[in-house]
């Protein structure tokens, strides 16, 4: 994995060390809340954190896309025709089935479904199996796929992420249509509104949501903490901890300058890299080819 994580215990230990006192289990819970608050803040401060940037197909309906969509993005297959957006389409063998439709929205090209043999399969309407995987999961696995009738390499199969903020999108066909430096979607009561009334598959670059809570892995928390946030969140939590103590005039071992310096380190790194550099790397990795996006109104070309 390109982006490293650290265990939650390490974050708590660093914050505790900066506080300079042994913490009870109850105090560690309080400290955890401060760490999560710092993580939410640094997440909100930049849309360009690489680990939260996603480029994937989504379903658009009359210019709206849903922040949460029960669909899968299949990509990287040697048989390129199976790549694309598989949307929820009923149930097979007590497991969800997902379908890749033709551009008319009704003709079935391939299904992603669970077979009687306990294999997940990408299968066409003539029941020819192109790729298969053999996990015991209730949903299609990300990797572990092997070619059957299809060509190597086998695909990756990824569940769509929940959208926090849209950065840009391409109308209908990847890299065609809207200029990604200018087009974006905004949230309203119906989902994310696009600056088009397009219906069909649309390619969206977006920032996905932050996990509900970091923690020790219990009660729905995740213990894999972004390594690039370690110093900032630990210092920020320790500083806030000092401010909650009864003696407000007492010496705080963590200064505001300490916290600000580490905040700047995180944000400068994220913003220096930029959204479109990261998006370009995603597409080069998945498709092994460069693409050029041209703005029809101004005639400028963006090489990705």
The reply to whether 143 falls in a domain is yes
Mean pLDDT of 191-203: 86
- Residues 127 and 110: beta-carbon distance below 8 Å: no
Mean pLDDT of 57-82: 95
Q: Which range marks the domain in which residue 147 is found?
A: 70-159
The reply to whether 27 falls in a domain is no
**Number of domains present in the structure of the chain:** 1
Distance of CA 273 to the CA centre of its chain: 17
The reply to whether 38 falls in a domain is no
pLDDT at 110: 98
The reply to whether 125 falls in a domain is yes
Range from 36-45, 170-179, 195-204 carrying the lowest mean pLDDT: 170-179
- Residues 166 and 206: beta-carbon distance below 8 Å: yes
Mean pLDDT of 138-167: 94
Mean pLDDT of 125-137: 91
Q: How many alpha carbons lie under 13 Å from residue 51 in its C-beta half-sphere?
A: 16
Mean pLDDT of 23-38: 93
pLDDT at 274: 58
Mean pLDDT of 241-264: 64
- Residues 270 and 42: beta-carbon distance below 8 Å: no
Buried b / exposed e across 254-292, counting CB within 10 Å, b at 16+? beeebbeebbeebbeebeeeebbebbbbbbeeeeeeeee
**Looking up tokens 């977006």, which residue turns up?**
206
Q: How confident is the model at residue 170 (pLDDT cuts 50, 70, 90)?
A: confident
The reply to whether 185 falls in a domain is no
Predicted confidence (pLDDT) at residue 234 exceeds the cutoff of 60: yes
Predicted confidence (pLDDT) at residue 65 exceeds the cutoff of 70: yes
- Say if pTM beats, i.e. exceeds, 0.85: no
Positive or negative torsion for Cα 32, 162, 135, 133 = negative
Express each pLDDT in 157-168 by its tens digit.
999 999 999 888
Predicted confidence (pLDDT) at residue 11 exceeds the cutoff of 90: yes
Question: Across the chain, what does the average pLDDT equal?
Answer: 82
DSSP per-residue string spanning 14-51? HHHHHHTS---HHHHHHHHHHHHHHHHHHHHH-S--GG
Bigger pLDDT: 149 or 178?
A: 149
Classified as helix, coil or strand, 125 is coil
Q: How confident is the model at residue 183 (pLDDT cuts 50, 70, 90)?
A: low
The reply to whether 105 falls in a domain is yes
Positive or negative torsion for Cα 23, 26, 27, 30 = positive
The reply to whether 176 falls in a domain is no
Positive or negative torsion for Cα 202, 208, 209, 214 = positive
The phi-psi region of residue 281 (left if phi > 0; otherwise alpha if psi is between -120 and 50; otherwise beta) is alpha
Q: How far is CA 47 from CA 53, 157, 210, 278, 280, in A?
A: 8, 25, 11, 12, 16
pLDDT at 286: 40
Whether omega for the bond prior to residue 153 falls within 30 degrees of 0, making it cis, is yes
């Amino acid at each position: 994995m390109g982006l490293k994580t650290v265990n939650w215990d390490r974050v708590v230990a660093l914050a505790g060390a900066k506080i300079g006192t042994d913490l009870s289990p109850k105090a560690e819970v309080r400290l955890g809340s401060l760490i999560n608050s710092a993580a939410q803040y640094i997440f909100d401060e930049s849309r360009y954190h690489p680990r939260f940037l996603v480029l994937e197909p989504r379903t658009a309906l009359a210019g709206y896309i849903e922040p949460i969509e029960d669909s899968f993005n299949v990509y990287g297959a040697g048989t390129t025709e199976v790549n694309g957006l598989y949307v929820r389409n009923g149930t097979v063998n007590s497991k969800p089935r997902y379908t890749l439709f033709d551009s008319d929205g009704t003709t079935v090209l391939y299904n992603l479904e669970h077979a009687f043999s306990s294999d997940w399969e990408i299968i066409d309407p003539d029941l020819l199996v192109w790729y298969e995987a053999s996990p015991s999961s209730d949903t299609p696995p990300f990797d572990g796929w092997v070619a059957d009738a299809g060509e190597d390499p086998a695909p990756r199969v990824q569940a769509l992420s929940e959208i926090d903020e849209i950065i840009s999108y391409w109308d209908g066909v990847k890299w065609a249509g809207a200029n990604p430096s200018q087009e974006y979607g905004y949230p309203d009561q119906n989902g994310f509104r696009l600056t088009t009334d397009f219906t069909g598959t649309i390619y969206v670059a977006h920032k996905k949501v932050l996990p509900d809570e970091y923690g020790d892995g219990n009660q729905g928390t995740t213990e894999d903490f972004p390594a690039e946030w370690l110093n900032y969140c630990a210092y920020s939590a320790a500083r806030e901890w000092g401010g909650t103590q009864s003696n407000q005039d007492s010496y705080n071992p963590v200064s505001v300058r300490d916290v600000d310096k580490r905040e700047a380190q995180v944000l400068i790194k994220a913003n220096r890299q930029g959204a479109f550099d990261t998006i370009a790397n995603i597409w080069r990795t998945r498709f092994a080819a460069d693409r050029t996006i041209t703005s029809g109104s101004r005639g400028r070309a963006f090489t990705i």
